Amino acid sequence: MAATTIRGANVDIRLWADPEQVEDVAMQQLRNIAALPWTYKHVAVMPDVHYGKGATVGSVIAMRGAVSPAAVGVDIGCGMTAVRTSLVANDLPESLAPLRTALEAAVPVGRASHRGEAFTARDAADWEKFWKAFGDLTPVVKRESGKALVQMGTLGGGNHFIEVCLDESGQVWVMLHSGSRGIGNILAQHHIGVAQELVHNQGLPDRDLAVFIAGTPQMAAYRHDLYWAQDYARRNRAVMLRLVCDVLRKRFHGVRFDEPISVHHNYVAEETHFGEDVLVTRKGAIRAGLGDMGIIPGSMGTGSYIVRGLGNPDSFSSASHGAGRRMSRTKARKAYTAEDLAAQTAGVECRKDSGVVDEIPAAYKDIDDVIRAQSDLVEVVARLKQVVCVKG
């Protein structure tokens, strides 16, 4: 699908989505972003676009000498990890309930944490250096060091998940979705508040779009904390993946795992586009440079895709991060019941209670439509269908 261009006050808006299907509030957010004097070239909008706090989910924003913390969001470094196993469908037991129970026992979900430190040298390198850097973060988070330690390797709630999936050839995959947990949220909220009070941000069309400017102490502090939180999120997924794979190792003797694919989809990166060095913010979008492997999940009853980037320069080498919500959590809880959820997740071993009705597949866009809309951004490597889904 070719992108649709809409004129903006400062730069254009390029959408890989049908403009008629974008909520009015989300379109206004995009116009506000396009009006900022720091926004570079154009705003790239992914096919899973929907309204978000501050900046639109499914937006890719490049800025020269500036960055907006709300355009990253509060779950700094949130992203996906997936790995193909040597197991095939016939290796799985008829009842998958015990496997789900074992996964939930291994990885704390929702508000739960580990009782002690769960990370090891098997998960990532330089743990001592990483935790030592905690002391250099903004003072507001230092009292959270104990929580950050025991949340490392935990799932959280909302749309975060752990899945066991099958590809179209019957191969078993493991996939998980999580971010920087509570510590990333605290850091983000702090810096968003700082940015909103800066003089150059007064009079913006949306105060949540406040930016930090290069060369200022506020920008330096934010980037320092941001990159640490992005690393926390990456490590968090690595610990969870090892815990999940250990569950499979205990249940399936000799199981092997390919090299994992891991991507952020709420983050900032220093990149060069159209010949200029810029700060690229992807909120609900993945990097899809030429040959980059990526993960685009659907909802808990539909399926997901492993993709390879095509390096489309007009999208700032980006692609969607998932199916994207078509309905808010509040509306979904009002519109659907636990019985509806059970029907829409038939064949998937997962929670089917009222506590996760807001994650019902009908609250999300059709993942197949979303993939078709970005055929010039990524190519499909594998289509996965979950058979186990763990939610917080």
Check whether 1 has a pLDDT greater than 70: no
Question: How much is the average pLDDT of 123-133?
Answer: 95
Task: Read off the pLDDT of each residue in 128-145 and give the average, rounded to a whole number.
Answer: 93
Residues 363-381: what's their mean pLDDT? 97
Binding-site residues sit at 75, 159-163, 177, 265-266, 297-300, 304, 321-324, 391
Number of domains in the chain: 1
User: Measured on CA atoms in the order 145, 147, 153, 159, is the torsion positive or negative?
Assistant: negative
Q: Among candidates 311, 296, 316, 309, which has minimal Cα distance to 364?
A: 296
- CA–CA gap between residue 39 and residue 35 (Å, rounded): 8
Which segments are annotated as binding site for GMP? 159-163, 265-266, 297-300, 304, 321-324, 391
- Is pLDDT above 80 for 54? no
2 — pLDDT class (breaks 50, 70, 90): confident
One-letter amino acid of 340: D
Question: CA-CA distance, 15 to 44, in Å (whole number)?
Answer: 6
Q: For the segment 63-79, what is each residue's pLDDT rounded down to a tens digit?
A: 999 999 999 999 999 99
Catalytic residue list: 321
Total residues belonging to the chain: 392
Q: Does 354 reside within a domain?
A: no
| Residues 94/234, Cβ–Cβ less than 8 Å | no
Interval 142-158: pLDDT, tens: 889 999 999 999 999 99
Gap between the Cα atoms of 303 and 298, Å rounded: 5
Per-residue pLDDT band at 55 (split at 50, 70, 90): confident
- 8 Å CB contact between 195 and 207: no
Binding-site annotation: residue ranges for Mn(2+): 75, 160, 177, 265
Asked whether the beta carbons of 97 and 73 are under 8 A apart, the reply is no
Task: Report d(CA 7, CA 42) in Å as an integer.
Answer: 9
Residue 240 contacts residue 107 (beta carbons within 8 Å): yes
Structural domain contains residue 358:
no
Domain range for 189: 4-326+364-391
Confirm whether 176 is domain-assigned: yes
- pLDDT tens digit string along 301-355? 899 999 999 999 999 999 999 999 999 999 999 999 999 999 999 999 999 999 9
Q: What is the CATH number of the domain that holds 125?
A: 3.90.1860.10
Query: Does residue 210 lie in a domain region?
Result: yes
**Residue 238 forms part of a structural domain:** yes
* pTM passes above 0.85: yes
For residue 109, give both structure tokens: 């979900």
Angle (CA) 144-56-60 rounded to 5° is 95
Name the packing angle between helices 181-196 and 217-251 (round to 10°): 160
Residue 336 covered by a domain: no
Instruction: Please report the pLDDT score of residue 53 as a whole number.
Output: 82
- For every residue of the chain, which 3-state class applies, written as one string? CCCEEECCCCCEEEECCCHHHCCHHHHHHHHHHHHCCCECCEEEEEEEEECCCCCCEEEEEEECCEECHHHCCCCCCCEEEEEEEEEEHHHCCCCCHHHHHHHHHHCCCCCCCCCCCCCCCCCCCCHHHHHHHHHHCCHHHHHHHHHHHHHCCCCCCCCCEEEEEEECCCEEEEEEEECCHHHHHHHHHHHHHHHHCCHHHCCCCCHHHCCEECCCHHHHHHHHHHHHHHHHHHHHHHHHHHHHHHHHHHHCCCCCECCCEEEECEEEEEEEECCEEEEEEEECEEECCCCCEEEEECCCCCCEEEEEECCCHHHCCEEECCCCECCCHHHHHHHCCHHHHHHHCCCCEECCCHHHHHHCHHHECCHHHHHHCCCCCEEEEEEEEEEEEEEC
Residue pLDDT, tens place only, 44-53? 999 999 999 8
pLDDT of 263-289, one tens digit each?
999 999 999 999 999 999 999 999 999
Please tell me the predicted confidence (pLDDT) of residue 279.
98
